[in-house]
Amino acid sequence: MNTARENYKRTIDKIFGIGVCTIDINVDNKNNVIGALVSDQFSTFTTNFLDRLKRLSTIYSENEHLRNSIQQAVNQVADINNWDGAFSELTVLDYFFSFPDTGAEYLKLDVTVPAAETLASEMGFSNANLDGHFSNFDLYFDTKVLSDKSGQIIKGIIQQAKRSLNIVGLTIHPSFNADLPFEEFQSNRNDLYKELLDGIRHKSKRPYIKSNIIDSLSYRLLWGAGVSTGESEYSPIEHAMNHHALLFQYVKKFHRKKPTVIIFVSFPWFSEKIPPFDGVKETFYENLSKNFFDGYRGKDVLGKYVNGKIKSNILASDVAEYLSAIIFMDDHSILGDCNEKNYIKTRCYLNKEAKNDLSESEFMRFLKSNTEILSEVV
């Protein structure tokens, strides 16, 4: 039987040509994407993803200046740990290449500029690398994964604890407030692991463990066969408040003289768990953007207090003014449950105080024609 990696290599060889896929097929591991391609349960995703690869293969064959970047992303999709970033990059390219205004002839990928041109100079770097630049708009962008960081940390803790104890038939369901800052989980990871380990080891085989480190965190333990459920409270406004500081981690990407856009890709197999109710995702996106763009205005908060890697005394409010917009792309390729082109739903929030304003730009005209605008510049 062919492994997921063998199947993926054979698929890329067929679509892009022999030699493009360089992954090691002798390693028997898989991630969500390449695993889905060999599963009958994900036939819709398989069809949609293969169609995406076919569209990108045409761009690959016709545009030599983009080949290295596309090939790198196609190979990294098979990576066991970093596939989410590569998948996101392919999603963004598939979206842009579907419109003539953002065609391949205008795009340069993997762009490195001197740090003095960006806020990377505020952090002591000598240069900065961005994912792309559109020559017709003279605009830079960088793609980021909108991931469920807290959930991934807890999942890793549970897996580590179960491996350590080697207990057969134990199911663990975590529950926690989804709008908590992921830094709380990250900074307490070792203590959370020890706490869970001690709880499982308790001689009474507890059905429930309440964390003393993070108030809302608890675990339901099911010993043997059966079903257990966990519940998480959720507020999109609090979630956005607690997560907006993530944007400060990308400040070295912000260009001083040209518009810069951060593109967040959301995909169910790696992203923030946002309830699928009407308006909830829009509320989260809008408030995430507002908190970053407007939350520090008029306040003497130094950027270094939000991102410790900033070495200068630039204000957080000034940092925010160098990001022109945030684009959110929701990838619906798993179920094909949206009417958007290539199953990619896009929303954009503009920074009305941006130093490199997009409000009267040609890129704004493109956005208004093809993207849901969550804010109008006033």
The tens digit of pLDDT for each residue in 239-261 reads 888 788 889 989 999 999 999 99
The answer to whether residue 41 scores a pLDDT higher than 90 is yes
pLDDT of amino acid 313: 97
How high is the pLDDT of residue 239? 86
Task: Look at residue 241 in the predicted model and tell me its pLDDT.
Answer: 87
Percentage of residues in the chain having pLDDT higher than 70? 96
Strand runs labelled E in the chain: 107-114, 127-134, 139-145, 170-175, 208-210, 218-223, 260-266, 325-331, 344-350, 372-373
Tens of pLDDT, residue by residue over 149-170, are 777 789 889 989 999 988 878 8
Residue 228 is predicted with a pLDDT of 46
**Per-residue pLDDT tens over the stretch 71-119:** 999 999 999 988 999 999 999 999 999 999 999 999 999 999 999 999 9
* pLDDT tens by residue, 106-156: 999 999 999 999 999 999 999 999 999 999 999 999 999 988 677 778 988
Q: What is the pLDDT of residue 272?
A: 76
Share of the chain above pLDDT 90, in %: 72
- Contact (CB, 8 A) for 294 and 276: no
Whether 376 shows a pLDDT value over 50: the answer reads yes
What's the burial of 318, exposed, middle or buried (CB within 10 Å: 0-12/13-18/19+)? middle
325-331 vs 372-373, strand pairing mode: unpaired
pLDDT at residue 209, as a whole number: 94
Tell whether the model's pLDDT for residue 230 goes beyond 70: no
Angle between helices 67-76 and 43-62 in degrees, nearest 10: 160
What digits encode the pLDDT tens for the residues 353-374? 999 999 999 999 999 999 888 8
What are the residues whose beta carbons fall under 8 Å from the beta carbon of 67, sequence distance 6 or more? 60
Half-sphere CA count of 242, side-chain side, radius 13 A: 19
Q: What is the pLDDT of residue 178?
A: 63
More confidently predicted of 363 and 229: 363
| The predicted structure's pLDDT at residue 227 | 46
Whole-model pTM: value is 0.84
Task: Give the pLDDT of residue 179.
Answer: 59
Residue 182's pLDDT is 77
Average model confidence (pLDDT) for the chain? 91
Better-scored residue on pLDDT, 304 or 278: 304
Give burial (CB, 10 Å; 0-12/13-18/19+) of 358. Answer: buried
The SS3 call for residue 266 is strand
Q: What pLDDT sits at residue 378?
A: 36
164 half-sphere exposure, CB direction, 13 A CA radius: 13
